[in-house]
Amino acid sequence: MRVPAGLWLCAAALILGACTSLPHKPLIPVPPLQLGSDWKRMGVETPAVTGVPASLQPLKPLQWVRTSYRQLDRRVQVQVFGMPTEASAFEARQKWRSEERSTAFHKSNLFVVCSSETEAMANLLEFTKLVENEWLRGGR
84: amino acid identity, one letter = P
Confidence band (pLDDT; 50, 70, 90) for 14?
A: low
| Residues pairing with 32 in the sheet | none
> What average pLDDT does the chain have?
86
Confidence (pTM):
0.79
Please give the Cα distance from 123 to 138 (Å, whole number).
Answer: 23
Residues 15-20, mean pLDDT to the nearest whole number: 52
- In this prediction, residue 88 carries a pLDDT of 96
Q: Classify 111 as helix, strand or coil.
A: strand
Do 113 and 96 form a contact (C-beta atoms < 8 A)? yes
